[in-house]
Structures are given as C-alpha cells and as structure tokens.
Structure 1
Amino acid sequence: MIYTGVLTKMQTEFKDPIQYYLVFKNDFIHVNQLLDKNIQMKFVGEECLNCHLNKEIYRQGFCKSCFFDTPNAGDWIMRPELSTAHLGKEDRDLKYEKKVQLQPHIVYLANSSNVKVGVTRKVQVPTRWIDQGAHEAIEIVEVPNRYLAGITEVALKDYVADKTNWRKMLKNDVEDENLKEWRERLKAYIPSEAKDYFIAHNEETHLKFPVHQYPEKPKSLNLKKEGSYSGKLVGVKGQYLIFEDNTVFNIRANEGLVVEIGI
C-alpha cells in the first residue's frame, strides 16, 4: 500500500507505549503498527505548511517568504522571553499572539539525553515531552503567559541544560534522575516575577517509547538529498523513526516534504 502526503510532526497519544500517527490530508498511518516491517520512503516534492504552494522549504516547514511573515514562525516561538502580547505589542499578528501567548504556560524539567529546562503551553503537556524523547519529566512552574515562562527558562539555563543531545537520546544512553530534587535545587534561581507560580508538590511523569532496537551509531537520513530509502522500522522515539541499519529520520525536521510511503 502506498500513502502520499505532506509530512507534519507525528501526532501522539500518551499511552504505554506512546502511540504515533502520521497524518496526511486524506489518510493517516498508525506508525506503531509498522514496527518490524520494511517500509519505503520516496521524496516527491515540497509544500509550504502556510501558503501550501510547491515552494522550497526554508525552515520549520515554511517557504522563505512565509517563514519571515507568518506569526507561526515569530522569534518568540523559539525564544519565549521575546513575547510581547502581554504588553499589547504586536510582533506580526497581535490577535494570534494574544491567543497563543496569553494562556497558561509550563516551565518544566525533562530528561531525554540529560536534564534540561523547557517551556510549553499547558495544553501541550505531555505532548512536548513526547516530541523531545524524554523518558521522564516534571512541571516546576505554571505561569499565566509565555513571557513569564520565557524569562524563567532564561534564568534557569545558567544552571541546567536547555538542549537535547539527539544522538544520546536515540541511543537511549540516559540515566534516571530525581527531578524533584532538581526542582528544589533550581527553585532559588526562579525570577521574582515567577516565584509565586512555583509548583511545590507534584510527581514525575514517566514515558515509554515503542522501540524494539536502539541504534548504536545513529545516522540521519536526508531524504531530499537521497531521493528514496528502504529499511526495517524498529522504533519510534521523540519525532524520529528508527531503522534496523542505524538510520534515523526526523519527521519534525522534514515538515513540508511531500513523500510517498510504501508498506
């Protein structure tokens, strides 16, 4: 069977293990059902996730013009501390920015390759942790807007990582950490504006991924460059497909590619 569609990040369900779905315009694939099966992927073209035109993808699934125009790619997306909707100041589209920025946000600790601090909207818990391949996570601050979450993250980055080592995460070269102890150690460094939002009593969330075999030396597939690929799927973690030959394919990093998937 052949499925054709535009890649967007896999949709997930928080179950044991995590359930993954590739969703296309008129169909979807339950990725967990493909484990231990050979699949083929072929690069067909590109389609911007914003204007939906057949244009070269620049970043984050957008063509170059849309990347610098759509509010979905404003600098505050990657750098929450730059959010200004709480001040009534527009970046690209104030109505959209108010909708996204002026809602509860979580500052969290997640352990994927190491303990890291991050920010997400409350409605994105635990989806954000799944996408990062974290096997454990905990909320440490819940604030009413994205700006407060952003300045909290910036303050804590001096004392804990804010990036994931994707190779280490995929190799499952990780150790369990006591995130509640980490939370208590970092409490002193939370900015004064956010101290009242500290979450003192909650438990770690543990996540289990559908992986039958972890890669020893993960090698990233550039499907656009290679044109096609065929291999046995042995796992899914974060937004990565993991194949038996150590090839890994980052769905999120390839959003906007039009592909054919043969099963």
Structure 2
Amino acid sequence: MQYEGVLTKMQTEYGNPIQYYLVFEDNFLNVNQLLSKDIALEFVGYQCLNCQKKKKIFRQGFCYDCFYSSPAVGDWILKPELSTAHLGIADRDLAYEQKVQLQPHVVYLALSSEIKVGVTRNTQIPTRWIDQGANAAIAIVELPNRYLAGITEVALKAYYTDKTNWRKMLTNAVEEVDLVAERMRLESRIPEQAREYFFLNKNDLYQMHYPVLEYPTKVKSLSLEKTPFFAGKLTGIKGQYLIFEDGTVFNIRSSEGYVVRLTMQ
C-alpha cells in the first residue's frame, strides 16, 4: 500500500498508547498500524503550507517569502514574551494576533529529557506535550493571554531549560521527577502579576505512554534532502518522530511541507 502527500505534523489521540495519524489531502493513515512493518520513505518535492506553491521549504513548513510575511510564524510564536496584541499593537496582522494571543495560555513543566518549562494554549493540552515527547507534564499557571504566559516562562527559565534534548527523549533517558512536588515549590518564582493564577493543589498530572516497541541506545537523524530514499522497520513513535530498528529517527514536524511517498513493503 502506498500513500503520497504533503507532510504536516502527525495528529494525535491521547490514550494508552497514544494514537498517531498522518493526514493527507485525500486520506489518512493510523501510523501505529505500521509498527513492526518495513516501510519506505521517498522525497518527492516541496509544497509551502501557506501559499501552497511548490517552493523550497525554509522553516516550519513555510517557504522563505511566507516565513517572513505570515502572522502564523511571527517572533512571538517562539518568544511569547514578545506578544503585543494585549496592547493593541500589531506585529504582522493584529486581527490574527488578537485571536491567538488573547486566549488562555498555560505555563507548564514537562519531562521530555530533563524538566523543561514551556507555554501553550490551553486548547493544546495534552497535544503540545505529546508533540514534545514528554513522559509526564503538569500545568503551573493558566493566564488570560500569551504575554503574561511569556513573562512567566522567562522568569522560570532561570531554573529550568526551555529546550528538549531530542536524543535523550528518543532513547528514553529521562530523569524521574515528582512534578506535583516540583510545582509546589514554584509560587515565589512566578512574577507577581501572574501569581494569582497559580495552580497549587489541582490534580492535573498527565502521563504519556508512547507506541514504542524498543527504545534505541543511539539515534541518528534522517534528512530526506540528504537521503531522498530510506527504508527500514518501524519500531516506535514518540513526539513527532518515527523510530526505526537501526536507530534512524525521522522528525515529521521539522519536515512539514515536504511532499513524500510512503510505501509499506
């Protein structure tokens, strides 16, 4: 069986284990069903997720022109503290930015490699944590806009990383931490304007169970630009990565906008 289309991040369904889906224009595939099967990935071309043109992907599934013009990839996406919609100030498109920034956002702790702090919209829980490959995660505060979440994250970055070590995440070399107890120590570290939103006693610890048959001891990343054809046995899915028997891992998220052909051998 063969599938062909533009890669976008896998859709997920929280469960035990988490279910993963590749969604193409005319069909979709439950990726969990490919575990233990030999599959082939072939690079076909590019298609920008914004303008739909067959232009080389620059970043985040966007071509160069769209990356520097679309409001969906403004600097405030990666740096929430740069959000200005609450002030009525536009970055690229105020209407878009108000829609996204002026809604509840959560600052959280997650165990994807070591403890990391992050920000996401409350509607993206637990999707955001699954995409990061977190084994467990917990909300700290829920703020009314992205700016307040951003300055809270900045304050907590003095104590925690905001990055995931993808090699540790994919080999499951993740430290065990009591996130509920960790959250209880944080109140004094939260900026004063965000402290009233602090979750102290809420029981909302999420634990994620991924469809991985066996974790590799070492991993090597697959780039379809450098290796336009790859075949191997799928042994796991974690975060937005496919894990193969030989330790090769393929990041679906970083390959958004690539047109691929997937064949079950």
Residues 29-62 of structure 1 show CA distances to partners (whole Å, capped at 9, x for unaligned) of 1000000000000000000000000001000000
Partner of 2:250 in structure 1?
Answer: 249
SS in 1 for 2:184: helix
Q: How does 1:205-244 map to 2 (within 5 A)?
A: 205-244=206-245
* CA distance, structure 2, for counterparts of residue 141 and residue 62 of structure 1: 32
What is the CA–CA distance in structure 2 between the aligned matches of 1:182 and 1:164, rounded to whole Å? 18
Q: Residues of 2 paired with 1:134 and 1:202: CA distance?
A: 20
- Matching residue of 1:134: 134
Work out whether 1:88 is the aligned partner of 2:88: yes
Q: Which residue in 2 is equivalent to 1:177?
A: 177
Aligned to 1:26: 26
How far, CA to CA, are the matches of 2:67 and 2:196 in structure 1? 36
Any runs of at least 4 consecutive aligned residues in structure 1 with deviations exceeding 6 A, and if so which?
none
Opposite residue 13 of structure 2, the aligned amino acid is E
- For residues 187 and 152 of structure 1, what CA distance do their matches in structure 2 show? 11
- Answering whether residue 195 of structure 2 is matched by residue 192 of structure 1, we say no
Corresponding residue for 2:156? 156
Q: Structure 2: which amino acid aligns with 1:244?
A: E
| Matched residue count | 263
Unaligned runs of 5+ in 1: none
**2-side partners of 1:175 and 1:219: how far apart?**
22
Q: Which amino acid aligns with 1:10?
A: M
What is the TM-score with the length of structure 1 in the denominator?
A: 0.99
1:84-119 Cα deviation digits (max 9, x unpaired): 000000001111101100000000000010111000
Deviations 1:111-166 (A, max 9, x none): 01011100000000000000000011100000000000000000000011111100
Distance, in Å, in 1 between the alignment partners of 2:199 and 2:122 is: 13
Q: Is the 1:42–1:228 Cα contact (8 Å) retained in structure 2?
A: yes
TM-score (norm 2): 0.98
**C-alpha distance in structure 2 between counterparts of 1:227 and 1:208, whole Å:** 31
The aligned amino acid for 1:258 is V
2:107 maps to 1:99: no
* Unmatched tracts of structure 2, length 5 or more: none
Partner of 2:233: helix, strand, or coil?
Answer: strand
CA contact (8 A) 1:159 1:186 kept: no
Q: Following the alignment from structure 1 to structure 2, what is the Cα–Cα distance between the partners of residues 173 and 252?
A: 21
User: 2:110 maps to which residue?
Assistant: 110
Q: State the SS of the aligned residue for 1:226.
A: coil
Q: CA deviation at 1:225?
A: 1.4
